[in-house]
Structure 1
Amino acid sequence: MGGILTQTNDTKCYILNTPRDLQPTSVRRSNFQGDTLTAGSVITEPQLFTGMHDMEKRHIDTWTKINYFVVEDMSLDLNFTLNIQQYNNWGYQTNGSFDGLVGALQRQEVDLGATGMLFKADRMMVMDYIGETYHFRATILFRQPSLASVTNIFLQPFSSGVWMCALIMFSIKVVALTVEMKLEWQCQKDGNCRKMRHLKPKKDPNDWGEVVMMVIGAVCQQGFYSPPSSLSARITFLVLWMASLFLFTSYAANVVALLQTPSHLVQSLSDLIKVPMEVGIQDVIYNRVYFRETTDSLAKELYHTKIEPYHERAYYNAVEGMQRVQKGLFAFQVEHTIGYKVISETFTVEEKCGLGNVELIRTPLLGIPIARDSPYKEILSQKLLHLREVGVLDRTFKQWVPQKPSCTNSHHSTSRQFVSIGLEELWSSFSLLWAGAIAALSLLFLENLIRTYSRKRKRFHKFMH
């Protein structure tokens, strides 16, 4: 059989020393005997890149790194050496040929890619894929607009039923106080009330506006210059004050909570297009290509309405974009790996809790590319499947990809950070104040105009007679 039988000294066991060419095919193909394979890797930020194994900067070219480790694990298992060639982009078609890594694979300059790559029909015409690795995610991150910026929070504390009941109660109080103060005034005027004879008769309460102002003063916890004197009216007034106190306390507490509550207005890409929020894009080449090639109608609408008008000013590096997100009313499309890292390091607990995200680029799993008709494709595909089944890919992903930051923090579990209230939150109250001031000045001008007209008319009639 071409083998060599050897008997050991201590036992009668025979060992068959088989040459490599007589070993089973599966055994021979699982050992590349130290051969060197040229692999291409894509580094998009070479000025920040410090090596594949630098955990301090794992957010730099994360998808390249974690896919590189998959290829590195295959090289260790299959006993081959990697000769890494660096490229600045994955490869895009121009005038019928590809640049970047895809172009190198097309020209057979490299054997495979040590990076993940999106599955695209034009690429599959010039190269193959070993298999799928990780799900690429690039989402739009933003802080949800404050509730005050999208709605009138001063109408939110109570339901419509509570508002209606309060209005009915105050209307009843106006009628009751009007009747009671009318009787009180009549009693004082006739001198029939012994306990109130020493009091000067009050103004005729037929002017119900005075009673309305009294009820409004009680509701706003401001009082009134002329409280009632009779026992029945005082009891009515006391009940009005107690009910107003409870309503006012509940209302004020709810307003304070709503001032610091983010809304949940933006839940989809269409919501983001509608709200008055600026949008920025991470300045990487695949984002520009995506908006140029996408067929998604919502993505196109977002691009034409909120990105294209700003030209290059709509593109930011990841850190600058996330800093603008932190300030609010700004949405930034970014790889969630670097986005989550910046959030974990710089955002407060309240800012983390108010974060929202919308998925923009919906892509399948990334794949590891290989030269077309490569003799290594089948064995590498089997090894990649094995690494996935035994959990190596999952372990690498959890080790290198930052997880979504939690909005809970042990340092802030017992106290919340102070949140400043700006003009945006109080705009509706200031609007009411200005509207009241304008209405008051308008009425004052109208009253003076009518009074002046009345005086002149009287003088004219007196002169005529």
Structure 2
Amino acid sequence: MGRFLYMSSTPAACKTFENLYGYYPDVIISASDTDDGEEISNMMMVIGKRITRNQLTVNNLIVFLPSSSTVLRPPGYRLNYCVLQAKGDGVEFKEVFTFGPTSSVPAEEVVGWWSPGKPEETHIPYRGDLAVPSDFQGNVVRIVILEIMPYITYKKTPEGKLEAEGYVTELCLLLAQELNFTIEWVESPDGEFGVPDDNGTFTGVVGVLQRKEADIAAPPLNINLNRAKEIDFSPPVDYAYVKLLIYRGQGKEDIDWYTYVTGFHWAVWLSVLGIWILMAIGLVVVAERDLQVTVYNYLFAFMGALAQQGTSHEPQCTRGRIVFLSYWLGTLLIFSSYTASLTSQLAVVYTVDPFTTLKEALTTAGYSVALQKGTSYYTNVKNMAKRDEPMRLFYQQLLDKPQLKVQGNAEGIQLIQQGKYAYFQDTVSVNYEIKNNCSFSWLGPPYFPEFACMGYMKNLSYANAISEFIIRATDSGIARKLMRKWMGLRAACDATPLLTLGFSKTVSAFSLLALGMLLGTSVLLVERWVHSGSPFRSRNQRRARREFSLSQIKTLPRDFR
């Protein structure tokens, strides 16, 4: 039976156990009929140790036990192997997961059966099968986390334990309930996702998996070649891309001197000015002669009509009143049209984007662009700097200004509110932080669009079981519901910016008021100076003024003297 299995499977990677180092697609361990399992157990322990120390990589580890009474003890390391053991007149295929030195009960499940009397073809389970143990027997699974909402947030209890929640956290809790394991949360030592050093050692959660200090990384990770050499990845749990976030703010707009001018086209303003002057002259021509009928008076009267105000100068004749009435009706329509146009303009916030691409932000717009350190985006920018001009400029700026490499979203959002800064980050996590605040805007095209996945320790024994659950959670809509719960539905920007009309928009109105007061005061001072007895006025002029006043008094009736 052992010879048949050996010959019908992929040839064993080696036949001498002492030389079992490096990478092997398949390793088959075959026991003799007299083995009691102790020697095989010791061999499995050594294999587990070499895999843990990165001295050995095995895709398919298969153990053949010809005796049904042979029992293997747990190897004390995290392993995934298939046991082919004689049972009655056939062979039983059993998939086994072990969980390290603290676990005494492995997770195992019968996934196949072969009997010489049956024509079915023998199938040796290999890495990639979905037929895996569904009960982890309450064993501990270590999951590394960091603060990144809406995916993960956590706090420490007084006992020092971590309590986590969030979209991916709830997904892990459902996974633990489904597969019957206990979660041990592990905190990222530096709060980073993980980038490689010059010696190939990773920081952040990727480094935790690389050092085998955790089994799974919960924060969604982008896949790149450097990471794929050190860790494995789950099916996607989200889709994200990067854009440039800027802060527009309130009360920082440039002064707009044309707020009350743009309500009409310049041709309309010229027409209103022409009609104002012509109507005043025309009314003087057609109206009856009177001391009050002057162009000066009717210019003020018609200006009052434009401002929807009354006047004390009205023509007494019918033809004059007809002209005046037509002007009133015309100014009513002009006033209504201007008010409607001005209201519609003030009710809408018009903004001009300072830039549309990363290159414009770094060059013509003069922005400093920040980026979260320890992310794959930094690695992507560094790699693309060799062949892409905008990325080269961006990477050089990050080298010249280390303060642009921020620790997280909170620091990045705070930085861009301090001046001409932009934040280069994925939209999902930042949208959760800013909560549809219209003071912030995303600019530029999407960069690095890709799926985000959870991370696995390299060759994790039960990675397939985790991946199967994630696929089912995605296909059944569970993942989408959890994401909607934590992220919420996207809503339009709130109306706060539309309710406040700042000084920058109304400065022209205040300027007109100030100019009117200044001119009025100037005229008052000039008149006082003129009437107070200027040395340029002659004595005869003063005597003539007094005689004119006396003559006016003599013309009054006796009763009024």
| TM-score, L = length of structure 2 | 0.53
Amino acid at match of 1:247: I
Amino acid at match of 2:481: R
Aligned partners of 1:291, 1:424: CA distance in 2, in Å?
42
How far residue 49 of structure 1 moved from its aligned partner, in angstroms, is: 2.8
How far residue 133 of structure 1 moved from its aligned partner, in angstroms, is: 0.9
Task: Please state whether the residue corresponding to 2:325 is helix, strand or coil.
Answer: helix
**Is the contact made by 2:130 and 2:465 (CA closer than 8 Å) also made in structure 1?**
no
1:10-25 map, 5 Å: 21=94, 23-24=111-112
**Is the contact made by 1:42 and 1:89 (CA closer than 8 Å) also made in structure 2?**
no
The aligned counterpart of 1:49 is 154
Which residue of the other structure, out of 181, 188, 208, is the alignment partner of 2:284?
A: 181
Task: Please state whether the residue corresponding to 1:154 is helix, strand or coil.
Answer: coil
The aligned counterpart of 2:259 is 153
**Is the contact made by 2:195 and 2:376 (CA closer than 8 Å) also made in structure 1?**
no
- Is residue 185 of structure 2 the alignment partner of residue 84 of structure 1? yes
The aligned counterpart of 1:252 is 339
- Is residue 527 of structure 2 the alignment partner of residue 424 of structure 1? no
The aligned counterpart of 2:267 is 164
Aligned partners of 2:246, 2:513: CA distance in 1, in Å?
36
How far residue 245 of structure 1 moved from its aligned partner, in angstroms, is: 2.5
**Is the contact made by 2:249 and 2:440 (CA closer than 8 Å) also made in structure 1?**
yes
Task: Please state whether the residue corresponding to 2:455 is helix, strand or coil.
Answer: strand
The aligned counterpart of 2:202 is 98
Which residue of the other structure, out of 308, 315, 323, is the alignment partner of 1:228?
A: 315
How far residue 425 of structure 1 moved from its aligned partner, in angstroms, is: 2.5
Seen in structure 2, the aligned counterparts of structure 1 residues 298 and 232 have a Cα distance that, compared at 3 Å, is farther
Seen in structure 2, the aligned counterparts of structure 1 residues 118 and 283 have a Cα distance that, compared at 3 Å, is closer
Aligned partners of 2:193, 2:253: CA distance in 1, in Å?
45
Relative to its length, the structure with more strand (as a share) is 2
Aligned partners of 2:147, 2:376: CA distance in 1, in Å?
12
How far residue 356 of structure 1 moved from its aligned partner, in angstroms, is: 4.8
Seen in structure 2, the aligned counterparts of structure 1 residues 153 and 355 have a Cα distance that, compared at 3 Å, is farther
Seen in structure 2, the aligned counterparts of structure 1 residues 228 and 174 have a Cα distance that, compared at 3 Å, is farther
Residues 206-228 of structure 1: CA deviation (Å, up to 9, x unaligned): xx666544433321234556443
How far residue 116 of structure 1 moved from its aligned partner, in angstroms, is: 1.6
Aligned partners of 2:498, 2:395: CA distance in 1, in Å?
37
How far residue 18 of structure 1 moved from its aligned partner, in angstroms, is: 9.6
How far residue 68 of structure 1 moved from its aligned partner, in angstroms, is: 3.4
Aligned partners of 1:259, 1:313: CA distance in 2, in Å?
39
Which protein shows a greater Rg? 2
**Is the contact made by 1:291 and 1:303 (CA closer than 8 Å) also made in structure 2?**
no
The aligned counterpart of 2:226 is 122
How far residue 377 of structure 1 moved from its aligned partner, in angstroms, is: 3.9
Amino acid at match of 2:509: S
Aligned partners of 1:124, 1:365: CA distance in 2, in Å?
14
Which residue of the other structure, out of 380, 392, 397, is the alignment partner of 2:478?
A: 392
Which residue of the other structure, out of 438, 446, 452, is the alignment partner of 1:366?
A: 452
Seen in structure 2, the aligned counterparts of structure 1 residues 18 and 390 have a Cα distance that, compared at 3 Å, is farther
Aligned partners of 2:215, 2:448: CA distance in 1, in Å?
29
How far residue 401 of structure 1 moved from its aligned partner, in angstroms, is: 2.2
The aligned counterpart of 1:191 is none
Aligned partners of 1:143, 1:234: CA distance in 2, in Å?
54
**Is the contact made by 1:32 and 1:79 (CA closer than 8 Å) also made in structure 2?**
yes
Aligned partners of 1:430, 1:277: CA distance in 2, in Å?
33
Seen in structure 2, the aligned counterparts of structure 1 residues 390 and 426 have a Cα distance that, compared at 3 Å, is same
Amino acid at match of 2:171: V
- Aligned pair count reads 400
**Is the contact made by 1:128 and 1:369 (CA closer than 8 Å) also made in structure 2?**
yes
How far residue 426 of structure 1 moved from its aligned partner, in angstroms, is: 1.0
Seen in structure 2, the aligned counterparts of structure 1 residues 147 and 317 have a Cα distance that, compared at 3 Å, is closer
Task: Please state whether the residue corresponding to 2:154 is helix, strand or coil.
Answer: coil
Q: Which has the higher contact order (CA 8 A, sep 6+)?
A: 1
**Is the contact made by 1:141 and 1:356 (CA closer than 8 Å) also made in structure 2?**
yes
Aligned partners of 1:43, 1:277: CA distance in 2, in Å?
33
Aligned partners of 2:479, 2:354: CA distance in 1, in Å?
31
Task: Please state whether the residue corresponding to 2:221 is helix, strand or coil.
Answer: coil
Aligned partners of 2:309, 2:506: CA distance in 1, in Å?
21
How far residue 78 of structure 1 moved from its aligned partner, in angstroms, is: 4.0
**Is the contact made by 1:146 and 1:261 (CA closer than 8 Å) also made in structure 2?**
no
Seen in structure 2, the aligned counterparts of structure 1 residues 419 and 368 have a Cα distance that, compared at 3 Å, is closer
Amino acid at match of 1:43: L
Amino acid at match of 1:403: L
Residues 179-225 of structure 1: CA deviation (Å, up to 9, x unaligned): 441354xx64xxxxxxxxxxx5457x5xx666544433321234556
Amino acid at match of 1:395: K
How far residue 153 of structure 1 moved from its aligned partner, in angstroms, is: 2.8
Aligned partners of 1:68, 1:20: CA distance in 2, in Å?
34
The aligned counterpart of 2:121 is none
**Is the contact made by 2:409 and 2:430 (CA closer than 8 Å) also made in structure 1?**
no
Aligned partners of 2:318, 2:523: CA distance in 1, in Å?
36
Structure 2 unpaired stretches of 5+: 2-65, 69-88, 95-109, 113-124, 158-162, 529-534, 539-561
Aligned partners of 1:209, 1:168: CA distance in 2, in Å?
20
Seen in structure 2, the aligned counterparts of structure 1 residues 275 and 94 have a Cα distance that, compared at 3 Å, is closer
Residues 366-412 of structure 1: CA deviation (Å, up to 9, x unaligned): 11112234444445434422221122211221222233345689xxx
Aligned partners of 2:347, 2:476: CA distance in 1, in Å?
47
How far residue 37 of structure 1 moved from its aligned partner, in angstroms, is: 5.8
**Is the contact made by 1:144 and 1:263 (CA closer than 8 Å) also made in structure 2?**
no
Seen in structure 2, the aligned counterparts of structure 1 residues 233 and 19 have a Cα distance that, compared at 3 Å, is same
| TM-score, L = length of structure 1 | 0.61
Amino acid at match of 2:508: S
How far residue 130 of structure 1 moved from its aligned partner, in angstroms, is: 2.0
Task: Please state whether the residue corresponding to 2:454 is helix, strand or coil.
Answer: strand
Which residue of the other structure, out of 206, 210, 214, is the alignment partner of 1:110?
A: 214
1:55-74 map, 5 Å: 65-74=166-175
CA RMSD of aligned residues (A): 5.8
**Is the contact made by 2:242 and 2:449 (CA closer than 8 Å) also made in structure 1?**
no
Task: Please state whether the residue corresponding to 1:93 is helix, strand or coil.
Answer: coil
Aligned partners of 2:419, 2:318: CA distance in 1, in Å?
56
Structure 1 unpaired stretches of 5+: 5-15, 53-59, 189-199, 410-415, 449-454, 459-465
- Report the identity percentage: 16
Aligned partners of 1:302, 1:440: CA distance in 2, in Å?
57
Amino acid at match of 2:489: Q
How far residue 430 of structure 1 moved from its aligned partner, in angstroms, is: 2.7
